[in-house]
Amino acid sequence: MKYLSFLLCSVLFFPFCLGKESWNRSLSYEDIVEKAKEGSPYYMGLLGIYLRAGEGGCSVNLKAAKQWSEAALKKGHPFGSYNLANLAMLKGDFAEATRFYQDAALLLERKASEGDPIAMYCMGEIDFQVLPTNVSRALDLFHKSADAGYPQAQATIGALYLKGLPGLLERKPEKGVALLSEAVRARSLTARFNLGMAYYNGDGVARNSTKAAQWLQVAEKQNFAEAQYVLGMLLAEGDEDLPKNVNLGISFLNKAAEQGHKLASAYLQKMGINSEYLKAPQNKKEESQVVSLQIEDEKILNEARKYYTGIGKVQNYTKAFSMLLPLAQGGYPEAARLVGLMKLTGKGTEKNPKDAKQWLSVAAQKGDQTAKRMLEQYRSLF
């Protein structure tokens, strides 16, 4: 009889038993951490997902995400293998990612059919991006997960509504923004980043670099390398809506590069940035000024002049050079001329006439008349 009772519970009430370990709208990030620490495989895997994706307002921590995912996998939970697949994708190891996705798919599909919002979203992601894809079923799973209130699903289907998918999903920008906004209120990093990218690309909303920078800054604060990369490019290049801020842009690109973001590293190399001259924000107050853009390149240039001349500041050539070089690399003629002069004289940096000529030539080509005169005057020194 005892065996029969156990069997009946397993067969008839198995979904009910699973409901005790299922995501719901009232579950906070702190709740998930506590339950994971208690040893629940479900919440171990869920914590790994949160730490990778920055859900619930937590900072991205890929190392911890991997540790919790491996712990969940050891206990046989598919959230572990699903999240390890995503981590492998971030590294560019597609063979390992495919193996982990395949390991996760069967069990995730079962749990998704039982109505778990996280499992539905995870299975939807696999259907959407892993060959052979099943986009129609993926969209259905995203919708169901979003309807259950899972913010990452709301952020994903919301972003898709902004652009639409021909023959599969009608373009509905207003609905997309509404879903993204709902997910933003739940502190979803996916939603914050997707909204920033919508303004960056003009998908479903009017293109607005300032609004893009505002949302990307929020996402960046959660230690999300992709947001740091895009924000860094946006600030380094500037446009009609967003004043150019090379120094601050470089600092965000460097933060992304330090996390192994290959495109950020390549962008810095393209700019010719040397790591010893990368200027990170000095404090939290300076970081917060990305949105208001109160610290602009012109102000940094003015401060660098003071350190260079010793007027208004104690003369410090090394400090001046560290401030001027990123501006010179960002295309400011005066900064390029001053860097060239410092390379010529060895003030604040190593003396190098060849580099001096290069920087003075850059300034001259951009119309700096003083640089043109210096090239002629010091021709014998090059």
HEC string of 132-174? CCCHHHHHHHHHHHHHCCCHHHHHHHHHHHHHCECCCECCCHH
pLDDT recorded at residue 285: 41
Q: What percent of the chain has pLDDT over 70?
A: 88
How crowded is residue 83: how many other Cβ atoms within 10 Å of its Cβ?
A: 29
pLDDT recorded at residue 281: 39
**Locus of tokens 């696999």:** 126
Residues 338, 361: contact at Cβ < 8 Å? no
246 pLDDT exceeds 90? Answer: no
In this predicted structure, which of 7-21, 170-184, 253-267, 270-284 has the lowest mean pLDDT? Answer: 7-21
Instruction: Kindly report whether the global pTM for this prediction surpasses the value 0.75.
Output: no
pLDDT recorded at residue 16: 35
| Chain segment 264-300, per-residue pLDDT in tens | 999 988 887 754 444 443 444 434 444 343 346 778 8
| Chain segment 193-203, per-residue pLDDT in tens | 999 999 999 99
Q: How far apart are CA 253 and CA 268, in angstroms?
A: 7
Per-residue confidence at 381, pLDDT binned at 50, 70, 90? confident
Q: How far apart are CA 358 and CA 212, in angstroms?
A: 35
User: At residue 352, what is the residue type?
Assistant: N
321 pLDDT exceeds 80? Answer: yes
**Which whole number is the average pLDDT over 29-47?**
97
Q: Evaluate the CA torsion angle 237, 241, 245, 249 in order and state its sign.
A: negative
pLDDT recorded at residue 10: 38
Q: How far apart are CA 208 and CA 55, in angstroms?
A: 25
Total residue count of the chain as it appears in this document: 382
Name the 3-class secondary structure at 262. Answer: helix
Name the 3-class secondary structure at 39. Answer: coil
In sequence order, the β-bridge partners of residue 231 are none
Q: How far apart are CA 378 and CA 382, in angstroms?
A: 7
Q: How far apart are CA 127 and CA 125, in angstroms?
A: 5
Per-residue confidence at 332, pLDDT binned at 50, 70, 90? confident
